[in-house]
Amino acid sequence: MLDTFTWYKQSTFRWKGEKLVVYIDSWGLTDDLPPADLLLITHAHGDHYAPDDIARVKRDKTVIVAPADVAKELSGNVKPVKPGDRLDVAGVKIEAVPAYNIDPARLEAHPKRNNWVGYVLQLGANIYYHAGDTDHLPELDRIRSDVAFLPIGDGGYVMTVDEAAGMAKALKPKIAVPMHYGFYPGVGVPADGERFKKAASPVEVKVFAPIHPFANK
């Protein structure tokens, strides 16, 4: 279910199937990079949308799905989305879901008005939810997935470890995966992955080892 995923850093993942390669967000791509069939961008922040990294994996066949403010900056086969949109691209069924902050201390980090997104997508036989940068929103509790990738930060831009653990318990995925920590100033330390694992119990948690070494201590 997760052995086909690679975590680069922050919220950047690659899924490599037998005939399909999908990248989610685009910061810190390195090493062996098979070209993208599908590239999903959650929002415009530079630790999620990195044009230079997109250029490294984009080919003529690549389909890029992104919120409108990112999509307008890109060329090629680009599909702009907003929360609630459903589409089928590169043979992948995708739903764009809301991703924004509701905590008063971080409302402007990811404001609702931007229409930034997370994604629910079917890859192979499994359903995956990549939350993007979000707080625990009531409208997300309906999501049912085999795997949920959740940002855990330290509360500066996204959820605290405990808030993200609460979201994992509400969503009840088969496996929860922490992301968005250990690489950016003020957004968590490496030990937060194991803290999340304990806090999210009884939900099973998989803590990935990133390709890049953690930057925070």
- Per residue in 22-46, pLDDT (tens digit) is 999 999 999 889 999 999 999 999 9
Whole-prediction pTM value?
0.97
pLDDT band at 186 (very low <50, low <70, confident <90, very high): confident
pLDDT of residue 192: 95
Q: What is the pLDDT of residue 92?
A: 97
Q: What angle do CA 25, 28, 32 make, to 5 degrees?
A: 100
The answer to whether residue 184 scores a pLDDT higher than 90 is no
Q: What is the pLDDT of residue 31?
A: 82
pLDDT confidence of 201, banded at 50, 70, 90? very high
pLDDT at 168: 98
Burial code (b: 16+ CB inside 10 Å, e: under 16) for 109-148 equals bbeeeebbbbbbbbbeeebbbbbbbbbbbeebeebebbbb
d(CA 155, CA 41): 22
pLDDT of 155 over the 90 cut:
no
Tokens in use for 102?
Answer: 């509701």
Q: pLDDT tens, 90-112?
A: 999 999 999 999 999 899 999 99
What domains appear along the chain, each with residue ranges and CATH number?
5-205 (3.60.15.10)
Locate 52 and state its tokens.
């230079």
| Confidence check: pLDDT of 14 > 80 | yes
Asked whether 39 and 71 are in contact (CB, 8 A), the reply is: no
Residues 161, 203, 27, 216: is their CA dihedral positive or negative?
positive
* Confidence (pLDDT) at 187: 85
Say if CB 66 and CB 52 are below 8 A apart. no
Cβ 62 vs Cβ 37: under 8 Å: yes
Residue 153 confidence class, pLDDT cut points 50, 70, 90: confident
pLDDT (0 to 100) of residue 173:
98
CA 126, 23, 158, 110 torsion-angle sign: negative
